[in-house]
Structure 1
Amino acid sequence: MLGETISFIRRNLSFACVFVAIGCAVVAFEDYSGRGGSSSTRYFIVLYFGYCVQSAILNGDGKVLGLNSGGMGGIGGYIWKNLLIMLAVMGVGVGLPIALGAASFSRDVFLLLCLAVIAIVYPLLLALVGTWPTAGIAGSKSGLADALSRGRYGLVPTFLRLFAGLVLPFVAAFILITAAASMSYEADSVFQGGKLNLIALALLVISQSASTFGICYVSIVLARKFQISERGPLGGAVSAANVSEVFE
């Protein structure tokens, strides 16, 4: 999967660069304007990127289609299904720490615990039902139960790969920002006193590039798992041996 992700990005380098540029522009605009609320915008951009990657994989050519190519089938279902998954993750990510009594902790500790739970629950839930949104791109009518049936096989390796793709870029970006701050660089804001902070901009580009690679990797893992599951000997039911091919 890692090699395929590298190959995919090389083949669609211009598309990946545009995605990185858009992500950087959204963050920079939020920083410059001093207004928050861009998280939802970035999430929808990520969903669109993931849709394009999976659509290219499922089409078999590995090439991202343009907006005017008629290749946008299933995007509505892809978005709302992913939103439902994210809402479930957020519910567990906040609800579990509260249920365990973490609400009595300080705000920073509570948020850290919520992020830790989300970092585990999100890839786990995607490993279980992440092929549900993907099925719509392929034109499949399979539902949530079918996705859960696919997800039960190869759960642990799928979870580990999704965890790496989703969490490691975030950790790498955090380490870079912390390292820059330890060297007295102001890396937490793209604009300082109305002027462009080149160090922060460089770190932003690096972190967005790493995030893009991770999203591409996750999308390919789920798309390949869906493909191999659909080729199983019993249609919806798939043997563990077949699913293990995803991780070769």
Structure 2
Amino acid sequence: MAKSSLAHRARRRPVRPVSAALFTLLVLVPSAACALAEGGPSAEELRARATSAPTEEERAGAERRVRDEIARVAERLPGLRPYSVVTTDSCLRGPGYDWKAQEDSGREMTCSVTATAYYGWDEDIPALLDAVAAEFPEKEEVAAREARVWERLLASGGPYGPSLVTGLAWDIPGDRVAEPRPCPEESDHIVHARCAVEPGSDVVPLEEIRRAHRLVVAWSEGAGYLAVSAPDAAG
């Protein structure tokens, strides 16, 4: 059975950066605290499920899907100068990042892979959004509409806001793309966590990208691969 390439790299380099957006999701611990308080499965039991052979296979598939999406961005938007891709594989107690499952008191663990790619961009934001609209049919309507809004904002001096295009972020005055945070350590709440950086082993500092380009752009993709409910927690 094929092993996830992320898992292999992580064993050699156990601590790696993770995107700021994902870090926020990783610290959603109230549901995990409830699971502990109600006598749910132990972290060791959930970790055994998270690292089992069937889960490794699902993990590898999710990683491929996420990497394929990030590769599609680079292929379709050649104006983006790629620098670093930070990939994080995590299993959290409770519903984790799955917002639709936040009220699911029977969810014991949620596993997912997320990748965030960091780029340099030398044109303005409307040009970026027009490029996204032209190359990604599923994002065309939102991106094209937002491009026209940004034309007006830039002409009038703001106020500015984050992108409405799912997964896309860029530097704006007062709210620049944040440096990736350290990869979280495993605990009772973060049952499994592995991170990797490509290319090489270190994230290119975003200030270095800003010095070379007009702004920093980040693009994130994610895929869930395991949701464990209470009756299935033992595997």
Q: State TM-score, norm by structure 1.
A: 0.29
- Which structure: greater strand fraction? 2
- Which structure: greater helix fraction? 1
If asked which structure has higher relative contact order (CA below 8 Å, sep 6+), I would say 2
